C-alpha cells in the first residue's frame, strides 16, 4: 500500500437521508416515548408494532395508487421468491391489516392502538425530511362517534404540549364522503375556469390537477377570487355536517383552538369526514408536525367489513426539532467501583454486580486507569459514591458530594449507599 493511502480513506457513512440516534438524542426520544405511553395509555390505547416491511399490495390499496407516497416514495423490493415487498411508508394500513388478520373486530370496539416505529420514504432529504424517520401514531378502529375524533385530536394536542412543541397551530376540516368530494371538485373546477383571467398562472395551470391548491395561493387577485369560491364544508351532507359540528363543539369545550382550513387535503385517498394537521412555525418549510383524520372506507378497501376508524401520526424528528428546550432528565450514577490494586478486580466486579441487583446504577472501572484517574473519571460521570476496593475485601467508600470517606467491609457498602449515609 502506498504511503498516501490512509489519507484517501473515508469511513463509511450512513446512507443519505438516514441518521444515527446517538445516546444524547436517544434520551430525548425516550421522553417522547414516555409521554406517549403515559398520555395514550391513560386513554386506553395499547401499543402495537407491525413488521418493518409488508406486501406491496397493502400500501398500493391502503394508501392509494394515485398518492405521492405510492407513486414516488416507496422502497419496494423483490423478496427473491417473486413476491413484492415494501418498507412501510406509513402506519395506518399495517395496523388495519393487523386488525383484520387477528380478528380484532370481535373485541370491544373501538380497538384503540398506538405505535412508535420507523418509516421509510424515498424523498429528497432536508431538515425535518428523511428517508428513514420515526412516527408516533394512534388509531381507534370501530367507532364512528365524533367523540372518538375529538378524543384523538385532544390526545395529540396533549402530547405535543407535554413534549414542548412550539407555536403549534391546529388546522381542521371535514372532507365528507368521497362522493361529496368528487362533486365538489367539479364545482370548484367550474368556478376556477369561470375566473381564469383573474388567477395566478400557477393556479390556472393546476385547475385540473389540483384545484384545491388555489386556496393556498399568495397572489392577491387569486385570494380575492377565492373568497367567493365554493367551500367543501358548505357542501357536506346533513349527517356529515352534524358529525363535524359535534367534533368542533367537543374541541371548543376542551379549550382546543383550531382554524378551519378549507384546503386541508391529506395525502391519502380514503380519508372521510374529519381531517386535521398540527403545524409548528419553528419548522420552516416542513411545517407539519402531525396529522390524521377519519378513514371510514379503509378497512373495506382491505377486504374487511365496513368499519369506521380514525387516527393520526406525528413525526418524532419534527417534534424534537420544534421542542428545542426538551432536555432529558440527568442520568444518575449511584456508585463507581474503583480499584486501588489490580488484585481487587474480582471483588470490584462482584460489588458492581450486586449493587445493580440491589437497584443501584453502578459502573465499574474498565479502562485500567490509575487510582487518581479513576477518581477523576468518577467525578466526571457524576457518581454519588465511589467504592475504592483494596485488598482483603476492604473498601473505602467516598461520598463525592461531601468528600467524606470511610472504611467498610465489602458487605456493608450497598446497605450504606441504600441508607444514603455512605
Q: How far is the CB of 301 from ligand ATP (least distance, A)?
A: 17
Q: Which three cell numbers stand for residue 36?
A: 406517549
Q: Which is nearer to ligand ATP, 76 or 246 (CB)?
A: 76
Stretch that binds ligand ATP, among 182-190, 200-208, 214-222, 315-323 (CB under 6 A): 315-323
Q: Which of 130, 184, 276, 336 binds ligand ATP (CB under 6 A)?
A: 130
Here the contacts of 252-258 (C-beta below 8 Å, separation 24 or greater) are: 254/150, 254/154, 256/153, 256/154, 256/157, 256/170, 257/170, 258/170, 258/171, 258/172
Q: Classify 100 as helix, strand or coil.
A: helix
Q: How far is the CB of 290 from ligand ATP (least distance, A)?
A: 5
Number of shown-chain residues binding ligand ATP (CB under 6 A): 19
Q: How far is the CB of 343 from ligand ATP (least distance, A)?
A: 54
The 10 Å CB-count burial string (b at 16+, else e) for 228-263 is ebeebbebbeeebeebbeebbebbeeeebebeebeb
Q: Which is nearer to ligand ATP, 308 or 315 (CB)?
A: 315
Q: Classify 236 as helix, strand or coil.
A: coil
From residue 135 to residue 154, what is the string marking binding to ligand ATP with x (rule CB under 6 A)?
Answer: x-------------------
121 forms part of the interface with ligand ATP (CB under 6 A): yes
213 forms part of the interface with ligand ATP (CB under 6 A): no
Q: Is residue 282 a contact partner of residue 46, using CB atoms and an 8 Å limit? A: no
Q: Is residue 405 a contact partner of residue 398, using CB atoms and an 8 Å limit? A: yes
Q: How far is the CB of 313 from ligand ATP (least distance, A)?
A: 4
- Whose cell is 482483603? That residue is 392
Q: How far is the CB of 116 from ligand ATP (least distance, A)?
A: 12
Q: Which of 88, 97, 318, 377 binds ligand ATP (CB under 6 A)?
A: 318
Q: How far is the CB of 121 from ligand ATP (least distance, A)?
A: 5
From residue 263 to residue 282, what is the string marking binding to ligand ATP with x (rule CB under 6 A)?
Answer: ----x---------------
Q: Which is nearer to ligand ATP, 317 or 334 (CB)?
A: 317
Q: Which is nearer to ligand ATP, 123 or 183 (CB)?
A: 123
Q: How far is the CB of 7 from ligand ATP (least distance, A)?
A: 35
Q: Is residue 121 a contact partner of residue 74, using CB atoms and an 8 Å limit? A: yes
d(CA 178, CA 242): 17
Stretch that binds ligand ATP, among 122-130, 360-368, 371-379, 384-392 (CB under 6 A): 122-130
From residue 84 to residue 103, what is the string marking binding to ligand ATP with x (rule CB under 6 A)?
Answer: ------x-------------
Binding to ligand ATP, residues 279-308 (CB under 6 A) = 286, 288-291
Q: Which is nearer to ligand ATP, 45 or 134 (CB)?
A: 134
Q: Which of 74, 313, 383, 397 binds ligand ATP (CB under 6 A)?
A: 313
Q: Is residue 126 a contact partner of residue 286, using CB atoms and an 8 Å limit? A: yes
Q: Which is nearer to ligand ATP, 123 or 198 (CB)?
A: 123
64 forms part of the interface with ligand ATP (CB under 6 A): no
Q: Which of 139, 296, 317, 334 binds ligand ATP (CB under 6 A)?
A: 317
Stretch that binds ligand ATP, among 99-107, 130-138, 212-220, 332-340 (CB under 6 A): 130-138
DSSP state letter for 262: T
Ordered alpha helix ranges (H), 195-344: 201-205, 220-226, 238-253, 298-301, 316-322
Q: How many CB atoms lie within 10 A of CB 64?
A: 20
Q: Which three cell numbers stand for residue 79?
A: 423478496
Residues 6+ apart with CB under 8 A from 152: 138, 140, 292, 310, 311, 312
Q: How far is the CB of 317 from ligand ATP (least distance, A)?
A: 5
Between the alpha carbon of residue 404 and those of residues 234, 340, 353, 398, the distances in Å are: 75, 17, 24, 6
d(CA 414, CA 191): 79
Output the 3-class SS for 144-184: CCHHHHHHHHHHHHHHHHHHCCCCEEEEEEECCCHHHHHHH
Q: Is residue 231 a contact partner of residue 264, using CB atoms and an 8 Å limit? A: no
Task: Summarize as ranges the residues that interact with ligand ATP (CB under 6 A).
Answer: 90, 121, 123, 128-130, 133, 135, 267, 286, 288-291, 313-315, 317-318
Amino acid at each position: 500500500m502506498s504511503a498516501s493511502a490512509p489519507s484517501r480513506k473515508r469511513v463509511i457513512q450512513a446512507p443519505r437521508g438516514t441518521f444515527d440516534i446517538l445516546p444524547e438524542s436517544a434520551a430525548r426520544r425516550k421522553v417522547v416515548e414516555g409521554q406517549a405511553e403515559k398520555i395514550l395509555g391513560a386513554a386506553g390505547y395499547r401499543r402495537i408494532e407491525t413488521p418493518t416491511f409488508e406486501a406491496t399490495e397493502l400500501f398500493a390499496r391502503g394508501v392509494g395508487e394515485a398518492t405521492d407516497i405510492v407513486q414516488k416514495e416507496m422502497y419496494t423490493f423483490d423478496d427473491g421468491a417473486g413476491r413484492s415487498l415494501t418498507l412501510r411508508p406509513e402506519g395506518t394500513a399495517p395496523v388495519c391489516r393487523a386488525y383484520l388478520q387477528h380478528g380484532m373486530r370481535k373485541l370491544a370496539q373501538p380497538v384503540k392502538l398506538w405505535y412508535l416505529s420507523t418509516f421509510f420514504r424515498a424523498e429528497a432529504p432536508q431538515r425535518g425530511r428523511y428517508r428513514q424517520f420515526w412516527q408516533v401514531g394512534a388509531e381507534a378502529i370501530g367507532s364512528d362517534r365524533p367523540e372518538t375524533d375529538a378524543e384523538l385530536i385532544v390526545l395529540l394536542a396533549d402530547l405535543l404540549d407535554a413534549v414542548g412543541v412550539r407555536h403549534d397551530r391546529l388546522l381542521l376540516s371535514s372532507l365528507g364522503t368521497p362522493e361529496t368530494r368528487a362533486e365538489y371538485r367539479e364545482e370548484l373546477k367550474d368556478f376556477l375556469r369561470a375566473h381564469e383571467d383573474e388567477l395566478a398562472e400557477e393556479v390556472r395551470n393546476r385547475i385540473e390537477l389540483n384545484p384545491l391548491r388555489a386556496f393556498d395561493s399568495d397572489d392577491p387577485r387569486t385570494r380575492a377570487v377565492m373568497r367567493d369560491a365554493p367551500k367543501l364544508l358548505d357542501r357536506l351532507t346533513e349527517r356529515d355536517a352534524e358529525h363535524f359540528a359535534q367534533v368542533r363543539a367537543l374541541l371548543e369545550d376542551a379549550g382546543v383552538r383550531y382554524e378551519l382550513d378549507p384546503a386541508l387535503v391529506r395525502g391519502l385517498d380514503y380519508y372521510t369526514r374529519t381531517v386535521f394537521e398540527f403545524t409548528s412555525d419553528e419548522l420552516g418549510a416542513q411545517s407539519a408536525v402531525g396529522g390524521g383524520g377519519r378513514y371510514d372506507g379503509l378497512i373495506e378497501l382491505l377486504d374487511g367489513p365496513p368499519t369506521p376508524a380514525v387516527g393520526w401520526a406525528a413525526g418524532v424528528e419534527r417534534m424534537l426539532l420544534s421542542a428545542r428546550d426538551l432536555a432529558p432528565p440527568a442520568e444518575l450514577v449511584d456508585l463507581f467501583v474503583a480499584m486501588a490494586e489490580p488484585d481487587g478486580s474480582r471483588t470490584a466486579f462482584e460489588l458492581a454486580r450486586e449493587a445493580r441487583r440491589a437497584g443501584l446504577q453502578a459502573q465499574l472501572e474498565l479502562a485500567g486507569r490509575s487510582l487518581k484517574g479513576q477518581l477523576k473519571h468518577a467525578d466526571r460521570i457524576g457518581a454519588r459514591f465511589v467504592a475504592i476496593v483494596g485488598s482483603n475485601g476492604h473498601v473505602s467508600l467516598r461520598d463525592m458530594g461531601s468528600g467524606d470517606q470511610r472504611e467498610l467491609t465489602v458487605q456493608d457498602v450497598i446497605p450504606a449507599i441504600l441508607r444514603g449515609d455512605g
